[in-house]
Structure 1
Amino acid sequence: LVNNAGFNECGLFTDTDMEQEMKMIDLHIRFVTQLTKRILPMMKKNNYGRVVNVGSTGSFIPSPSDAVYSATKAYIMSFSNALYGEFKRTGIKITSLCPGATETEFAAKANIQDTLLFKYAVMKPDSVVEIAYPKLMKGKRLVIPGIYNKLLIFFSKILPVGVTNSLTITMMK
């Protein structure tokens, strides 16, 4: 099962469309949860399966001007980590894939294609898959493709929130 549907309603929280954010919450949280809930019993019956839930580097970074998106992606990572723990000693493997900027229609649809975030270190989808697939098959809990994304997440854990907030706002301009 690959839970990879998603979109973004980007902008300052008071300026974004609440209806779109509710749809995003439904897609990123409710539907991922429901689909996983329906598929995992079949995998459990066979004691075999793979689930990859696509999060984001935003799963780690509360992002001003992207608050709801990052929060939904944090849910996906937390949900995946919990399921990984539940199924760790079985034939079912749960992986959270957290790519950064990737060359898809995502940025254009969110109108963020011209931001700094999508100007540097943008990965090709094939590269993300080439990195993620073998790790998924081995049952790795978390996959962060690309050195830039790994560094981004590493520094987000050690820098104060005020600094990461400022950097995020800059990257989304």
Structure 2
Amino acid sequence: MLRRLALTAVASLAVLSAAVPAATAGTGPLPLLPIPLPLPSALQGDDDTEKTQLRVTVSDSGDREADGVYELQCLPAGGTHPVAKQACDRLAELAQPTDRNGDADPFRPVPAGTMCTQQFGGSATARVTGTWRGQHVDASFDRTNGCEIARWNTLRPVLPNVR
């Protein structure tokens, strides 16, 4: 949607810049008026469908620096998250549809009945709450089997790299 708005704005500017010389050919130049033009909210990052504001709580990671509560905001990247820009970039990548249904929700739990390898990735846990792309998020993560480890790793660097 953001691309469509930007493309429309560029196309409109191109049409106007081509029309102004033709309109002023017989009358002389038009006076320039200082008229502020507001950007569409989607270009400013204020569109609720793009809003990302998350609280990430990590515990038992085995790394005292990784454990804690972090705030993450995107568009623009900020908050107390130690690598906010990289985390927002990763979330933007994950927003692209990847499965058959066009769903790209990295916070979705492992579906019931999924066969997962029985490996233990450590006692680290995380909880992510807030808003991602305008959608409510309340997701828990651990590393108790292969599926959960893969789910955790998909969200790195939103979640810390743990051993």
Same fold (TM over 0.5): no
TM-score, normalising length: structure 1: 0.20
**Normalised by the size of structure 2, how large is the TM-score?**
0.21
> Which protein has the bigger helix share?
1
Radius of gyration: which is bigger?
A: 2
